[in-house]
Amino acid sequence: MCKFTTRSALIVLMFSACYPAAAETREKPNILFIAIDDLNDWVEPLAGHPQTLTPNLDKFAAGAVNFTRNYCTSPGCNPSRSTLMTGYHTYTSGMYSNYQDWRKVPKLSRAKTLGEYFRDHGYYSAGAGKIYHYDQVAPRTWDDYYPSQTENMPEEYLPENNPVNMPEFKYMYGMFDWCALPFGDENTADYKSVSYIKSQLAESHEKPFFLAAGIYRPHLPWYVPKKYFDRFPLEQIRLPEVLDNDVDDLGERAKELIRRGGNYHAHVVKADKWKEAVRGYLASIAFADAMVGELLAALDSSRYADNTIVVIWSDHGWQLGEKKHWRKFALWENVIRTVLMMKAPPGTPAMPKGSARGKVVTEPTSLLDIYPTLVDLAGLPPRPDLDGTSLRPLLAAGGRSLDRGIITTYDFADYSVRYRNWHYINYVDGSEELYDLNKDPNEWHNLAGSGEFGATKDRLKRMLPTSAVPLPESSLLELEEHHVPPVMSREYYFSKERREWLKRFEVVGTNPGQACILHFRGASARFSDLRRQACTR
Ligand SMILES: [Ca+2]
Ligand SMILES: [Ca+2]
């Protein structure tokens, strides 16, 4: 990565005996770490929707290892991202909910973050866009950040009179909306983040680098340039497959997760907006894929093309009406499954032949595995304290299985275990679900009540954590009226206080006179009101 004249090379040779560390440093691989927000399996390499268009992710998968059954630690941006970046699971740290400040969770506040650990071992670390949850930034992770160490996300464009397309309903997340922007990629916030990373790839770096690009789409609002909407004619849109009465075999806790937040499904169906919403999500995914393409093309044409490890991941999945549920915040496969692909070039210290090309790994893995995998591949001192496992055996051609159960939590005391073809869910109220994904990929038939699968269920149940670190109250954010207070104990779950709070979400049916549209304050993207222009429906 450094250009040497003959003379300077001679000087290095002369001093190399005195400075072996310098020679070793030059052998360390660079890392390009690409995060995509709220992206489910609707990408071509995971084939979750037949109409999705993700040529760049598809091309990358052909030369990389595609972990097709990878899971988040928790289906919310904040716990998912902060556990990934520190390497500790929710139930070993106490970081369970979006309504916590991860920096006030004692174990995570003391943790060496991923970028920080690489900095400590001779790396230059920089990033742009959403890696941490909005304003919960961690400057110790980075040498430099765009737009800044305190504002991690560039300003988003906000159309006038939003929401543009989704009729408001009580307690609706204010950004639950979509529209075709009247300008090109270059005016979007994501493009600005991507441009910063591209400029970093164009520079000459003396140290190996850890570069983190946080792409915000397809997170709501689905405002992306018109050309992406044009790729998905509305009349041709295919809705997710659903089963009538799918929710009938679910317990009370699951039904609460479906209804909460004002009952999105009832409102979307009543307003006849289901196809439009699916289109908005597909358009946003196509846009995010284009941003990935920009980054990968810049890497390929840079001097770092042959010595950079690339990791592409999303922080959790999303539902668009399956089980009458929208958004995240649940434990079904569509919600906890994420994108994870990795590519290690030949010459990587721990993997001289590089990772396999076009390999598909179907055994369950976790976003928590990224940290120990990168430490392992880069040859940094191992971190046996981390909760994940290096995926090196799975990255190699052939390679051995890790054969693990992968745990995901929601709030405190809702658990999911993915093991081989099985998915077991154990909720705080004691209700359970069991699915055989080989026979029932849509999770329509809950087998938990069937005696036939008792032994399987018990086996998966034994994989659950036996003790979980409580949610530290000191880490809670101030709650707003539309928030659902996180479950902090089983006692609290069944308490009268909680039942009273939840009554506000029992509202069904639109009532424009009472519509109360809520925007997250202090914990969302920043929006620019400088260039308000019309955007199309
Ligand atoms: Ca997210
Ligand atoms: Ca069902």
Question: Which of 23-32, 316-325, 352-361, 470-479 shows the lowest per-residue confidence on average (mean pLDDT)?
Answer: 23-32
Spacing, Cα 336 to ligand 1 middle (Å) = 11
Spacing, Cα 327 to ligand 2 middle (Å) = 18
> Per-domain residue ranges for the chain?
29-528
Ligand nearest to the CA of 246: 2
Which listed residue (49, 72, 77, 535) is catalytic?
Answer: 77
Q: Are 156 and 526 in contact (CB under 8 A)?
A: yes
| DSSP label at residue 518 | B
Q: Which two tokens stand for residue 275?
A: 């196809």
Other beta carbons less than 10 A from residue 24's beta carbon: 12
pLDDT band, residue 171 (cuts 50/70/90): confident
Regarding pTM above 0.85, the answer is: yes
Q: Which two tokens stand for residue 482?
A: 């539309």
The domain 29-528 is classified under which CATH number: 3.40.50.300, 3.40.720.10, 3.30.365.10, 3.40.50.800? Answer: 3.40.720.10
pLDDT tens for each residue of 61-75: 999 999 999 999 999
Sequence-ordered list of residues with C-beta below 8 angstroms from that of 421, at least 6 positions apart, any chain: 436, 437, 438
Q: Which two tokens stand for residue 303?
A: 């001097």
Between the CA of residue 288 and those of 52, 182, 203, 360, what are the distances in Å? 12, 17, 24, 22
Spacing, Cα 417 to ligand 2 middle (Å) = 18
Spacing, Cα 316 to ligand 1 middle (Å) = 6
Average confidence score pLDDT of the chain: 91
Q: Are 242 and 326 in contact (CB under 8 A)?
A: no
Ligand nearest to the CA of 38: 1
Sequence-ordered list of residues with C-beta below 8 angstroms from that of 292, at least 6 positions apart, any chain: 34, 36, 56, 57, 60, 215, 312
Which listed residue (133, 219, 265, 325) is catalytic?
Answer: 133
Other beta carbons less than 10 A from residue 442's beta carbon: 17
pLDDT band, residue 357 (cuts 50/70/90): very high
Spacing, Cα 478 to ligand 2 middle (Å) = 36
Half-sphere exposure of 392 (CA within 13 A, CB side): 17
Other beta carbons less than 10 A from residue 323's beta carbon: 24
pLDDT at residue 503, rounded to an integer: 82
In this predicted structure, the answer to whether residue 292 has a pLDDT above a threshold of 50 is yes
CB-based neighbours (< 5 A) of ligand 1, an ion: 37-38, 77, 315
Average confidence (pLDDT) over 316-333: 97
Over pLDDT 90: what percentage of the chain? 82
Average confidence (pLDDT) over 130-152: 98
Ligand nearest to the CA of 75: 1
Spacing, Cα 271 to ligand 2 middle (Å) = 25
Sequence-ordered list of residues with C-beta below 8 angstroms from that of 201, at least 6 positions apart, any chain: 32, 211, 298, 299, 302, 304
Sequence-ordered list of residues with C-beta below 8 angstroms from that of 407, at least 6 positions apart, any chain: 73, 89, 91, 366, 415, 416, 417, 463, 464, 465
Ligand nearest to the CA of 254: 2
CB-based neighbours (< 5 A) of ligand 2, an ion: 246, 249, 444
In this predicted structure, the answer to whether residue 16 has a pLDDT above a threshold of 60 is no
pLDDT at residue 174, rounded to an integer: 87
3-state secondary structure string across 321-349: CHHHCEECCCCCHHHHEECEEEECCCCEC
- In the three-class reduction of DSSP (H, G, I as helix; E, B as strand; rest coil), residue 132 is classed as coil
pLDDT at residue 532, rounded to an integer: 53
Half-sphere exposure of 233 (CA within 13 A, CB side): 2
pLDDT at residue 395, rounded to an integer: 98
Spacing, Cα 244 to ligand 2 middle (Å) = 9
Q: Are 153 and 526 in contact (CB under 8 A)?
A: yes
Spacing, Cα 315 to ligand 1 middle (Å) = 5
Average confidence (pLDDT) over 356-364: 98
Other beta carbons less than 10 A from residue 216's beta carbon: 23
Half-sphere exposure of 91 (CA within 13 A, CB side): 20
pLDDT band, residue 537 (cuts 50/70/90): low
133 is catalytic: yes
Spacing, Cα 256 to ligand 2 middle (Å) = 15
- In the three-class reduction of DSSP (H, G, I as helix; E, B as strand; rest coil), residue 224 is classed as strand
Other beta carbons less than 10 A from residue 277's beta carbon: 23
In 3D space, the residue among 114, 304, 299 whose CA is nearest the CA of residue 208 turns out to be 304
77 is catalytic: yes
Other beta carbons less than 10 A from residue 247's beta carbon: 15
Q: Are 190 and 257 in contact (CB under 8 A)?
A: no
Ligand nearest to the CA of 445: 2
